[in-house]
Amino acid sequence: MTAEQAARPLPRPPGEPLIELCDVSVRYQGAGPAALGAVDLTVGHGELVTLAGPARSGKSTLLSVVGLLLRPTTGSYLLNGFDTGALRDRERTALRGRQIGCVFQRPRLLPSRSALDNVMLAVLYAGLPRQRQESAALDALDRVGLAARRNVLTGQLSAAEQQRVAVARAVAGDPSLLLCDDPTASLDEALATQIIGLLVSLHREGRTVLIVTRDQLAAAYSSRSLTMSAVSSAARQDAVQ
């Protein structure tokens, strides 16, 4: 697969999984126990899956593998049928920029730049034509309810507004997959509910969403809730009825 092919929208064949991890582990050179070990995980197109577990069980490491930020030490990772282990760095970057959006526990915004500027920076990596970049960023801010605040410096926004900007940044390129690493951890219950509601609405638009979270509200809306074992770092799949 070329970088140009990676930048194209992912087809969504019925019944085919989007994410397939097989015996994936991560071990850092010179480190002690594996950061992630022996994970098998399959996520279908259009699912909203929550992932929970104790500290150091490998949740964030798993998201980094799925988000193509980290290559696994062993095992295979297929993204929509593509063997990501066979991709060169340039191809992985292109695939990540166009197909995957990430929301972190902290927004990681540039405080001296406007909300629009922060989202525009992400759009540059999404492979959109130049003439569509600003409109895509504005549409994303409108989707999260911040169109009127687009010119405000992010350092002047509230914590919830900053996280909304982070969500807008993640979805501006219209990714097929949205990865969220405990996005409500620093918010109070009311604000956390707003962010979870926003993520659920984005899922209902057709995106596949994988959320590391301790928020039970997210689990209530998920198609499956997974837990990570601190001992084996294996994902135990528990269907949410």
Which domains does the chain carry? 3-234 (3.40.50.300)
Q: Residue 10 corresponds to which tokens in the numbers above?
A: 């992912």
Above 50 in pLDDT, residue 240?
Answer: no
pLDDT in tens, 21-51: 999 999 887 766 778 888 899 999 999 999 9
SS3 state at 47: coil
The pTM assigned to this predicted structure is 0.85
Least confident of 2-6, 129-133, 231-235: 231-235
Name the phi and psi angles at 17, rounded to 5. -70, 150
Reported as a single tens digit per residue, the pLDDT across 166-179 is 999 999 988 989 99
- 2 or 40, greater pLDDT: 40
Of the candidates 165, 172, 21, the residue with the CA atom closest to the CA atom of residue 100: 172
Nearest of 172, 201, 178 to residue 19 by alpha carbon: 178
Question: Is residue 10's pLDDT more than 80?
Answer: no
Q: Pick the most confident of 24-33, 67-76, 127-136, 216-225.
A: 67-76
Among candidate residues 60, 53, 22, 52, the one with its CA nearest the CA of residue 40: 22
What is the per-residue pLDDT for 140?
Answer: 93
pLDDT computed for residue 234 by the predictor: 42
Predicted confidence at residue 31, as pLDDT, reads 63
Please check whether residue 166 is in contact with residue 109, taking contact to mean a CB–CB distance below 8 angstroms: yes
pLDDT at 91 over 60: yes
- Local confidence band at 217 (pLDDT 50, 70, 90 cut-offs): confident
Say whether pLDDT at 233 is over 50.
no
The confidence score (pLDDT) of residue 241 equals 32
Residue 229 confidence (pLDDT) above 90 = no
Provide the residue type at 209 as one letter.
V
- What is the reported pLDDT for 84? 94
The mean pLDDT value for 170-189 works out to 89
| Share above pLDDT 90 across residues of the chain, in percent, rounded to a whole number | 47
What's residue 15's pLDDT?
64
Residue 32 and residue 211: Cα distance in Å, rounded? 27
Per-chain mean pLDDT for the chain: 84
